[in-house]
Amino acid sequence: MGDTHSEHDASADHQSEHPNASRESATSSPSSADSLSLSNVTKRYGNTTALEDLSVAIQPGTFHGLVGPNGSGKTTLFAILAGLTRPSSGRISVPEDATVGYSFQEPRFYPALTVRENLEVFRGFADDPPPDSWLETLLEELRLEPVADRRADELSGGFRTKLDLALALVKRPQFLLLDEPLADVDDHSRRRITSFLEEYRADDRTVVVSTHNVASFAEQFDRLTVVVDGERRYDGSPDADVVAQYRSVLEDAV
Ligand SMILES: Nc1ncnc2c1ncn2[C@@H]1O[C@H](COP(=O)(O)OP(=O)(O)OP(=O)(O)O)[C@@H](O)[C@H]1O
């Protein structure tokens, strides 16, 4: 199965910043061939080490939580998984033909277009555009229907978060990376969105949520990775005692 993988070796001189764009046969994959994984990744910004020798494998069909205090390196880790940033050293492994969708804390929508127009434009970027019914599902499930015809720059914070989430989902990616997806979202929408993401995962797709608030997703996570000061402190099942052990570490910095 190793030959179905692409690998991205930060020590090699690749032209592309995106690991998906660099497809090579894997000869020594550290994890199963269908996972999205990082091996011994270090990322430095000048004198700051954002990630230190970190390895993690995101398995298909899981709801994977990535938690840590603010500044622990979660956004950097996501940017590397999404292919937006290259590590200083280490390897990225991406399954052949995997699609990766992401929503970071920076909004990506077109401000002068309506919510619906934004979805249509982003759908147009897909190699295999989804049908209208998928756009309607997103509007409904993410509680965006009331603002579907409103300009994106006129939305409140919670609706902006939901629009960004919808844009991450519009191509129905196999790996969905969400950085604090519930920021500013009201309680009712939170419940609806978490259950929608759970259903999405059930269809052999993968949802990775980065957050400093483990409590809001504790019931959904199949696997939990805890990152503190750029280092992996835990990677495994999200047992209650593990969550309890790290809760004070995570909440101290909130
Ligand atoms: N472009 C950059 N240039 C310099 N330092 C950076 C850059 N991006 C991140 N850092 C530093 O790297 C460390 C990790 O930052 P990162 O944003 O990945 O953490 P985080 O866990 O996502 O935090 P937050 O939850 O606050 O976004 C921090 O010390 C941060 O200041």
pLDDT of residue 21: 35
Q: Which residue has the tokens 């494998």?
A: 57
Question: pLDDT by residue (tens digit) across 85-133?
Answer: 999 999 999 998 889 999 887 778 999 999 999 999 999 988 889 999 9
- How many Å apart are CA 225 and CA 153, to the nearest integer? 35
In the 8-state DSSP scheme, what is residue 201? H
pLDDT of residue 212: 80
The average pLDDT across 28-41 equals 76
Ligand 1 pocket member 45 (CB < 6 A): yes
CA dihedral 51→52→55→60, nearest 10 degrees, is -10
Confidence band, pLDDT 50/70/90 cuts, at residue 70: confident
- How many Å apart are CA 129 and CA 120, to the nearest integer? 10
Residue 251: both structure tokens together:
């909440």
Could you tell which of 72, 76, 103, 182 is best to mutate to test the pocket of ligand 1, judged by most ligand atoms within 8 Å of the CB? 76
CA 177-181-185 angle, to 5 degrees, is 165
In the predicted structure, residue 22 carries a pLDDT above the cut 50: no
Half-sphere exposure of 117 (CA within 13 A, CB side): 11
Greater confidence (200 vs 7) lies with 200
Would the CA dihedral through 142, 146, 151, 155 be positive or negative?
A: negative
Confidence band, pLDDT 50/70/90 cuts, at residue 169: very high
pLDDT of residue 199: 92
Ligand 1 pocket member 52 (CB < 6 A): no
pLDDT of residue 250: 67
Ligand 1 pocket member 6 (CB < 6 A): no
pLDDT of residue 251: 65
Confidence band, pLDDT 50/70/90 cuts, at residue 254: very low
In the predicted structure, residue 252 carries a pLDDT above the cut 70: no
pLDDT of residue 168: 94
Question: pLDDT by residue (tens digit) across 8-18?
Answer: 544 333 222 33
The average pLDDT across 54-76 equals 93
Per-domain boundaries in the chain: 2-98+210-252
pLDDT of residue 65: 94
In the predicted structure, residue 249 carries a pLDDT above the cut 50: yes
| CA 75–ligand 1 middle distance (angstroms) | 7
pLDDT of residue 244: 79
| CA 252–ligand 1 middle distance (angstroms) | 17
Confidence band, pLDDT 50/70/90 cuts, at residue 187: confident
CA dihedral 117→109→43→40, nearest 10 degrees, is -30
The average pLDDT across 16-34 equals 43
The CATH code of the domain at 2-98+210-252 is: 3.40.50.300
Question: pLDDT by residue (tens digit) across 188-240?
Answer: 888 888 989 999 998 889 999 998 877 778 888 999 999 999 999 999 998 88
Ligand 1 pocket member 125 (CB < 6 A): no
